[in-house]
Homo-oligomer: A and B are copies of this chain.
Amino acid sequence: MEKVTASIITIGDELLIGQTIDTNSAWMAQQLNGMGVWVQRRVAVGDTKAAILQALDEESAAADIILITGGLGPTDDDITKPALLEYFGGTMVQHAPTLQYLMQRFESRGLPVLQRNIDQALVPDSCTVLMNNHGLAPGMWFEKNGKVFVSMPGVPHEMKGIMTDHVLPRIQEQFHTRAVIHQTLLTSGLGESFVAERLLAFEAQLPPNIKLAYLPSYGLLKLRLTALGDDKVSTAAALKLQFQQMQSLLADIAVYDEDIPMGAVLGRYLQAKGKTVGTAESCTGGYIAHSITAVAGSSAYYNGSVVTYSNAMKVKLLGVKDDTLAAHGAVSEATVREMAAGALKVLNTDYVMAVSGIMGPDGGTPEKPVGTVWIAAGSADNIVTVKHRLMYDRERNIQMTAIYAMNELRKLL
């Protein structure tokens, strides 16, 4: 079987001036990859016809499938449709089901319909229309010189709907894909080069169809094994054997054997033990609580949190002693211990994480520079504390503190 390849073209000036972060491409790549389609390039171009036509030419020279997002809105800066008409030929026609959906939608909301909305139902007659059940701009499937081109809106949930409803099933039907299987081990506590050193012999003995990649990710190092094969079951089995071997070599630093966010890892451990957790947060300002509750079903092990940003709130809500704050300061082992003890009582949970630190860019002192953070994690019987010195910007410092705190608690579970 041939390797089936894809390219993703993203259209929009907002991507080129850095106003928008492209999250669509990652999702699309994951979906394609999961069904054995290899994304070999991703290209972002601006809202100009010449740039779009050039990208269509270049990407279709090498890839079998070209997925295009963006530039299908109702306003004048959206020029993807005229560019596609020029590239694929044909004339513009009304797509009746889209027009009907559109009229219903405006009517049900009591909004007037504008000509520019009606024009969103226009499509080149050279395409197969892919109904958009979440918005007004339909998807369009073109074929030319044996290549498949799909144009979709850039709004993430509309694109995801069209991909799931139409594009992925059609690709599966039309192409005979090779199996591509990934498994990722999350680790923490050892730098990339030391892990690589430990895995030297392991990496050398890997069969040619299995590849190891190192993905450092603030606070974690992800190790991804990728296997390529003709048959899904035997490829998965071969990958599993190698993965287990890698796992046993890294048992002391392994965090989890699946690439899921740390909040989800912690949730699985808690659920397995039937225990609950709460947080007492100062410097992370609710981010640990958010990491836990971003996981569907987290209400099974999570009741609530207190965010005590000011000292007064630490005293009032968690019972931290004024003396402790005066003697050691808010960013200290003594304070996070008292925060943790207070939270266990107030939130009525089995386990707790408490954090206090200086996330920057200001607020540091010579004794407690920016990036200093104290973490307490544990239960009424056993609270562990740890101090970190983080070196990043405010946003990353907050994220890393959350990951370190959750990993500290995970070790106890």
Contacts of A302 in B (CB 8 A): 285, 309-310
How distant is A203 from chain B, measured CB to nearest CB, in Å?
7
CA distance A44 to B229 in the complex (A): 24
Considering the complex, which residues of chain A in the window 283-302 have a beta carbon less than 8 Å from any beta carbon of chain B? 284-290, 292-294, 296-299, 302
Contacts of A197 in B (CB 8 A): 114, 116
Interface size on A, residues (CB 8 A): 107
Number of chain copies forming the complex:
2
Considering the complex, which residues of chain A in the window 270-294 have a beta carbon less than 8 Å from any beta carbon of chain B? 279, 281, 284-290, 292-294
A413: interface (CB < 8 Å):
no
A175: interface (CB < 8 Å):
no
Find out whether the CB atom of B20 lies under 8 angstroms from the CB atom of A28.
no
CA distance A390 to B106 in the complex (A): 17
Contacts of A391 in B (CB 8 A): 134, 157
Quick one: given A26-B21, A290-B286, are A196 and B74 in contact (CB under 8 Å)? yes
Q: Which of these, B14, B33, B217, B285, contacts A293 with CB under 8 Å?
A: B285
Instruction: Mark interface residues in A31-48 (1 if CB within 8 Å of B CB, else 0).
Output: 101000011111111110
CA distance A28 to B182 in the complex (A): 30
Quick one: given A306-B306, A306-B307, A310-B304, are A41 and B44 in contact (CB under 8 Å)? yes
Find out whether the CB atom of A40 lies under 8 angstroms from the CB atom of B33.
no
A337: interface (CB < 8 Å):
no
A408: interface (CB < 8 Å):
no
Find out whether the CB atom of B285 lies under 8 angstroms from the CB atom of A287.
no
Quick one: given A17-B29, A75-B214, are A308 and B317 in contact (CB under 8 Å)? no
Residue of B nearest to A22 (CB): B22
How distant is A32 from chain B, measured CB to nearest CB, in Å?
8
A412: interface (CB < 8 Å):
no
Instruction: Mark interface residues in A198-225 (1 if CB within 8 Å of B CB, else 0).
Output: 0000010000000111111100001010
- Which residues of A are in contact with B by a Cβ distance under 8 Å? 13-23, 25-31, 33, 38-47, 51, 55, 58, 73-77, 111, 114, 116-117, 134, 155-157, 182, 184, 191-194, 196-197, 203, 211-217, 222, 224, 226, 259, 279, 281, 284-290, 292-294, 296-299, 302-310, 312-313, 316-317, 346-348, 360-362, 391-396, 398
